[in-house]
Chain A
Amino acid sequence: MPRQVLEVTLTADSVAADAALAASGDASAFERLYRAHVNRVHSLVRRMLDADEADDLTQDVFVRAWDKLSTFRGESAFGTWLHRLAVNVVLARRKTLGVERGRFHSGENPLEGVSGRRETPEISMDFEEALANLPDGARQVFVLHDVEGYRHEEIAQMLGVVPGTSKSQLHHARMALRRYLDR
């Protein structure tokens, strides 16, 4: 993922330093990590869950990160490690909420979740809003693949589906969202 590559290039020293300091109990270093990553984590959570869940789940992600910093061995960038942890927290939350309900059935039509072509100015749903209105399965796959840069094989493993299902959900999500491209 290009963004992650840049992150590694630019901040490897300072982020690794702060991660090491935070792991030793330095809350100030952890706050710097929080400040550097909160927007990305919050955006990920907001896109994968409902907006009203985003604040609580974002805090959960960082509390979990604090608790698990001892397992971060620096083999990947801290941002990558945190991001994967955030995805895991989101997916666990979805299971807790019981919102999966078989949404990865390949026969499902994600287009039903985004009704109507935007043809008039008063229908002002933008791209992010349309994304939020996708059915959960298509939404998750789209966010993980097209926004966050995960591969189908990774997504399939995370979501417990086969890669073909991930590809199918992605295609249906894209077909739905093309109606809401900013013009």
Chain B
Amino acid sequence: MNDQWTDRLSEYVDGELANGERGALEAHLATCAACRGAVAELRQVVARARSLEDRAPQTDLWSGVAKRIGAGQVVDIRSRRFSFNVPQLIAASIALVLLSGGGMWVALRRPATPSGTRIVTPRPDDFTMNASADRQATRIWTGRTDAAIADLQEDLQRNEGRLDTATVRVVRENLALIDRAIGQARAALDADPGNAYLNLHLADTMRRKLELLRRINAIASAQS
């Protein structure tokens, strides 16, 4: 196999040949078994390259990075210039709320500080859920959502094989993040079952998990 087309086979595989050249090469392929074989192997190489899995370093490199960036030391944020836009900062706020909403509520509900100054919890006026009927409705809703989440997680277990490992890792990290927030909200609700803010926070966090599971299952289905 050493003809005028040999060096153009990769461009053909990548769909980069002009129409006229592609037609001429395809006519050649019809008569040249060697080039047909090479095209097939080149396609396998491309597929193999795309399927290469990322591997973790053999040793944890974070300690070296942390040492060099001074992690653990007090950082003067005034010394760092940053130029994030409003949506990014909102995203940061959402993440903080998601992670710490339940824990923060519990912290704010402590009856008194060591100095004896009572902290007043800033409960929004809109969040009024005193009726037991509302709490019952919340329990029903969360029960149904738990069931839906369980179904979607079963689907995800079946679908994970269609996703690359990097994606699966990202999904698991996100789910762990959300599960942590759900756990915090439920723990806080155990202490204050009638708290409307916490009920809404739990509902919103469960909705996030539901949406993530639906989205990743849809993406996985599209991979097949």
Contact = CB atoms under 8 A, between A and B. Distances in A.
Given A174-B46, A178-B42, A178-B45, A3 B167 contact: yes
B152 to A, nearest CB: 15
A14 B80 CA distance: 21
B188 interface: no
Interface stretch (B50-58, B109-117, B128-136, B143-151): B50-58
A19 B203 CA distance: 27
Contacts of B170: 6-7, 10-11, 36
A70 B48 contact: no
Interface in A23-45: 23-27, 30-31, 34-36, 38-40, 42-43
A147 B91 contact: no
A36 to B, nearest CB: 6
B200 interface: no
Contacts of B219: 6, 9
B32 interface: no
Interface size class of A (residues with CB under 8 A): 35 or more
A138 to B, nearest CB: 12
Contacts of A74: 84-85, 87-88
Interface in B149-198: 163-164, 166-167, 169-171, 173-174, 177
Interface of A: 3, 6-7, 9-14, 16-21, 23-27, 30-31, 34-36, 38-40, 42-43, 46, 54-55, 58-59, 62-63, 66, 69-71, 73-74, 127-128, 142, 146-147, 167-168, 170-171, 174-175, 177-178, 181-182
